[in-house]
Amino acid sequence: MAIQPADRIKNLPAYVFKALDEAKEKALAKGVDLISLSIGDPDFMPPPATIEAMKTALDEPENHRYPSYVGMASFRQAVAKWMKHRYDLDFDPNGEILTLIGSKEGIAHLPLGYLNPGDVALLPNPGFPMYTSTVQFAGGEPWQYPLKRENDYLPDFAEIPEDIAARAKLLYLNYPHNPTGAVADLAFYEKAVAFAKAHDILIMQDAAYSEVYNDQQPPSIFQVEGGRDCAIEVYSFSKSYSATGWRLGYAVGDRELLYPLMRVKDQVDSGQFNVVQEAGIAAMALGDPACNDVREVYRSRREAAMKSITEAGYEVFDTGATLYIWVKVPFDCTSAVFCARALEEQGVLVTPGNAFGSQGEGWFRIALCLEADRIAEGAARLAKLLQT
């Protein structure tokens, strides 16, 4: 065909879940009783009060007009209240909080606000694949820092070469971390802030899993001194309230640091539907019990999975955070070969670790997005792989 897409599209790696989706379709066509522990998409309903709020908001004529670019004032006020409650931090709803159309939207647009051609963005490997492609879309140069088991999947800033650090404008962090479930503490954030300040780097801390933890509340980077001078945080309703379909998130940070993202968004979107923001307000108004309910679901599912896989002898990196369990491939084979075996021999779909970058090789990810009894069945089948 004569009409060609741009190189940035041609150069994209194949969507990692596409191969898995195809393998899954094949297995289903063969009539396999498939247990999908692959994709992290919560399968249960958001709190009823949020649905009611949406229904009420639908009847308000004003809500069907263009929303505010930066988000409804009432939504931003609710976020400010939540940040105060959750972290005891004060943010000005006017300028320090920005509504996002899902956190992915804000993460994708951030590099357009910060990177010139050749500027470096430091990204986690393993990590969320869209970080790399959206940095490339903006003409930036992705440089992946390795996350290693022996460092509990926290970066060692001393390993980042001086010339790379000098060219870096952005540092992406994601704690609690997808895919490993790793968590960061304040001592780590202090190191990250010191590194960022030494090199005039903006930190983008992706806090999508901020409310999905077992007992230890993950902190905010803003709780360390100097955090506000060099970081923004991006939050999501997707995992906290089991609401991936809403497309609702927000960014928080110093007004000057948020401003470039705001300017990009002014040009590409016109804000999120008020009806969705009303659902978010209703969710935050429920306070801790709503997130406790979500945490309880994952806690029981995690238990359901852990028992058989650890008894079978799988090595697991498990912090209790996120919707995932990160498991070492038990045989001398690649992640892809192991995952293909799990699918073909046991009808269990799990995600190969290298789908998140080269450092994920040798591991696989279990997602807890099915009923506990199905998860237990899936884990029991994975256990059988070690017994045959």
Ligand X SMILES: *Cc1c(COP(=O)(O)O)cnc(C)c1O
Q: Which is nearer to ligand X, 113 or 347 (CB)?
A: 113
Supply the minimum distance, in Å, between the C-beta of residue 341 and ligand X. Answer: 26
Supply the minimum distance, in Å, between the C-beta of residue 280 and ligand X. Answer: 11
Q: Which is nearer to ligand X, 177 or 199 (CB)?
A: 177
**How buried is 288 (Cβ within 10 angstroms: 0-12 exposed, 13-18 middle, 19+ buried)?**
exposed
State which amino acid sits at residue 24.
K
3-class DSSP state of 11: coil
List, in sequence order, every residue forming a beta bridge with 216; answer none if it has no partner. none
- Contact residues for ligand X, defined by CB under 6 A: 40, 102-104, 128, 174, 178, 206, 208, 236, 238-239, 244, 249
Q: At what angle do helices 372-387 and 288-312 cross, to 10 degrees?
A: 20
> In this structure, what token pair is assigned to residue 169?
């404008």
Separation of CA 216 from chain center: 18
Supply the minimum distance, in Å, between the C-beta of residue 110 and ligand X. Answer: 12
Distances in Å between the alpha carbon of 196 and those of 200, 201, 235, 252?
6, 5, 21, 18
Rounded distance between C-alpha atoms, residue 106 and residue 112, angstroms: 10
The label of the residue with tokens 């084979």 reads: 333
Q: Which is nearer to ligand X, 104 or 169 (CB)?
A: 104
Q: Which is nearer to ligand X, 104 or 301 (CB)?
A: 104
Nearest to 249 by CA among 277, 220, 227, 230: 277
Q: Which is nearer to ligand X, 174 or 274 (CB)?
A: 174
Concatenated DSSP letters of 138-205? TT-EEEEEE--GGGTT---GGGS-HHHHHHEEEEEE-SSPTTT-----HHHHHHHHHHHHHTT-EEEE
User: Is residue 81 within 8 Å of residue 284, measured between CB atoms?
Assistant: yes
Q: Which is nearer to ligand X, 102 or 113 (CB)?
A: 102
Q: Which is nearer to ligand X, 21 or 229 (CB)?
A: 21
Supply the minimum distance, in Å, between the C-beta of residue 383 and ligand X. Answer: 27
> In this structure, what token pair is assigned to residue 283?
């969710």
Supply the minimum distance, in Å, between the C-beta of residue 104 and ligand X. Answer: 3
Supply the minimum distance, in Å, between the C-beta of residue 237 and ligand X. Answer: 7
3-class DSSP state of 352: strand
Q: Which is nearer to ligand X, 140 or 280 (CB)?
A: 280
Supply the minimum distance, in Å, between the C-beta of residue 29 and ligand X. Answer: 29
Supply the minimum distance, in Å, between the C-beta of residue 51 and ligand X. Answer: 18
> In this structure, what token pair is assigned to residue 274?
């008020």
